[in-house]
Amino acid sequence: MTRGVRKGLSKEVILKAAFKIVESGGVETLSMRRLGSELGVAAMAIYNHFPDREQLLDAMAESALAEITPDEQKGNWKKQVTNVARSVANLSIEKPAVFALCMSRPTKPKAAVVLMSKVLEALRQGGLSDKEALACYHSVLILLHGFPFWQAGLTKYCAASPDSIATADLSEQEKRDWKLLHTVDPAKQFEASLALLLDGY
């Protein structure tokens, strides 16, 4: 291979390939070397566009959250908040590994701020006090952070055999409960949890 030849690499192209890898195998399968080979490029070429792996992951979170564009806000404030939260949760359903990546990064992307202000605006429109709005906003946020990890645990056991190994030394009651718990539809459960939160006001 000749050196110093332009390969048309760019942030966008790299991010696209990175998403492909994460979507199919999770963050832990995304290595600089693998990403490089996916792009037909030496691993080190990536460092011309991102300073290190951590910042590449941050850029992925930024990019993924920026893609979330809720529908035009309409209806009462609860519907507006639900609308935003649902569009975020949708990412978790469509691309669980990508969303888990977003939620596990303590560095919150700028894109999160525009979603934040959308929700806060709705809460103020709803006439909530500052204190109430704060509590409500964070409640929704905790729910969103938990969703991908809760979902992962759920699908893990649903993928396993109906009578999983883990249920070996459980009482009959516990076994029935265990099975019952794994009959949930993630999207519906999220909506239900969210409604529960918002109906407090």
Partner DNA sequence: ACCTGAACACCGTTCAAGT
Which residues fall within 8 angstroms of residue 67, CB to CB, at 6 or more apart? 91
| Residue 99's binding partner out of a second copy, DNA, none, with CB under 5 to 8 Å set by partner kind | none
- Partner from a second copy, DNA, none binding residue 47, C-beta < 5-8 Å depending on class: DNA
**Near DNA by CB under 7 A: residue from 4, 106, 162, 200:** 4
3 touches DNA (CB under 7 A): yes
Nearer to DNA, 52 or 174 (CB): 52
DSSP code per residue over the chain: --SS------HHHHHHHHHHHHHHH-GGG--HHHHHHHTTS-GGGGGGT-SSHHHHHHHHHHHHHHT--PPPP-SSHHHHHHHHHHHHHHHHHH-HHHHHHHHH-SS--HHHHHHHHHHHHHHHHTT--HHHHHHHHHHHHHHHHHHHHHHHHHHHHHHS-SS-GGGTT--HHHHHHHHHHTT--HHHHHHHHHHHHHTT-
The entry of a second copy, DNA, none near residue 3 (CB within 5 to 8 angstroms by kind) is DNA
CB of 136 to DNA, least distance (A): 38
* Least distance from a second copy to the Cβ atom of residue 12, Å: 21
Rule CB under 8 A: which residues touch a second copy? 103-104, 106-108, 110, 113, 116-117, 120, 130, 134-139, 141-147, 149-150, 152-153, 155-157, 166, 169-170, 173-174, 177-178, 180-181, 184, 189-190, 192-193, 195-197, 199-200
Query: What residues between 24 and 63 interact with DNA by CB under 7 A?
Result: 30-34, 36, 41-45, 47-49, 52-54
Binding footprint of DNA on the chain (CB under 7 A):
1-9, 30-34, 36, 41-45, 47-49, 52-54
